[in-house]
Chains A and B, each alone.
Chain A
């Protein structure tokens, strides 16, 4: 049994979380969160893969040819869009935090507010 794609997904999730926990910069923290989210792309696409399958786009290939699962691909598309919008919103929040407190370090932020 090939487990490498699943191991990759778990590794991305954990390494992203490590970055979130130890981050000293809100921008860096936001990027770490998107690394976590990329674990879900890898995982979804790995789950939907069928050995020898082509992309589920039947233009120029006969209908009925073995293709990978289109549903998880659509879910991944949703996932990417959500990831980017969350990234945009968090960056805006980071800018505001910097404006209010003059620092981007989350550990200094907790000291500012006790």
Chain B
């Protein structure tokens, strides 16, 4: 198809899509006046009921925990796909690349522990303050990727041995599923809380939300590390 024909087809399609979307938007409630009954109810009951002051975390890991299970499995399947496509068994024998500049090495060396700790903090306090397993997991993974930036791929791979990260990723996904099935076996609803609740605002306040939150954090961190390892290893592997 020529570029012009392609654009013409796109133009007609985009115009139609824009019209349908405009029609749909015209029927939406005014911006700022969405009368979402489910959300308003959760904002009222989530804190007294689940002792999690971050209502979004309560939604993700409790009220809609089943959706989050699907989300974890999407992440798991995508990383599996990347590994299947790119993992060749060949170790990357990188050419000794020019060392990162003095400034880059100095900054990354100081940043890695701080970023790693901040990631763990973001996971741990997710149910209490803004954050959570998904956000913190990405921070943890990226703090490790900084090692690649400051040193090289070999150091990054040594810090994150793939068999261990594979195990962490699979184990975290299995733990999430296991907690759901375990609560079913115990005669409760899927992923229902089974730990005592504590004073609102403390780390131990929301019971088993904490466990699910950590499972998600470990899953996300190891999935991202694997994505980076696979992609970087492929790019630096000999032809």
Interface residues of A (CB under 8 A from B): 1-7, 10, 13-14, 17-18, 21-22, 46-52, 55-59, 63-64, 67-74, 77-78, 80-82, 85-86, 88-89, 91-93, 95-96
**How far is A89 from B3 in the complex, measured between Cα atoms in Å?**
27
* Per-position binary interface string of chain B over residues 192-229, scored 1 when its CB falls under 8 Å from any chain A CB and 0 otherwise: 00000000010000000000000000001001000100
Question: Is B185 among interface residues, defined by CB-CB distance under 8 A?
Answer: no
Are A92 and B33 closer than 8 Å at their CB atoms? no
**How far is A50 from B30 in the complex, measured between Cα atoms in Å?**
10
Kindly list the 9 A-B residue pairs having the minimum CB-CB distance in the complex, ordered from nearest: A69-B39, A51-B32, A85-B78, A56-B55, A74-B59, A70-B55, A2-B31, A59-B53, A92-B82
**Residues on the A chain within 8 Å of B39, using CB:** 48, 56, 68-72
Are B14 and A14 closer than 8 Å at their CB atoms? yes
Q: Interface residues of B: mostly helix, strand, loop or mixed? A: helix
Are A88 and B79 closer than 8 Å at their CB atoms? yes
Count of interface residues, chain B, beta-carbon cutoff 8 Å: 58
Are A74 and B14 closer than 8 Å at their CB atoms? no
Within 8 A of A (CB), among B130-168: 130, 132, 134
**Residues on the B chain within 8 Å of A55, using CB:** 130
Tell me whether A74 and B33 are in contact in the complex, defined as CB-CB below 8 angstroms, given that A22-B3, A92-B85 are known contacts.
Answer: no
**How far is A39 from B128 in the complex, measured between Cα atoms in Å?**
29
Tell me whether A6 and B31 are in contact in the complex, defined as CB-CB below 8 angstroms, given that A73-B56, A85-B75 are known contacts.
Answer: yes
Tell me whether A82 and B18 are in contact in the complex, defined as CB-CB below 8 angstroms, given that A51-B32, A59-B129, A70-B55 are known contacts.
Answer: no
Within 8 A of A (CB), among B41-81: 42-44, 46-48, 53-56, 58-60, 64, 67-68, 71, 74-75, 78-79, 81
B166 to chain A, nearest CB (A): 16
For this complex, 5 residue pairs linking A to B, each with C-beta atoms less than 8 Å apart, are A6-B31, A57-B53, A63-B44, A73-B56, A74-B64
Tell me whether A6 and B34 are in contact in the complex, defined as CB-CB below 8 angstroms, given that A71-B42, A88-B227 are known contacts.
Answer: no
Are A78 and B34 closer than 8 Å at their CB atoms? no
- One of A10, A22, A70, A96 near B43 (C-beta < 8 A): A70
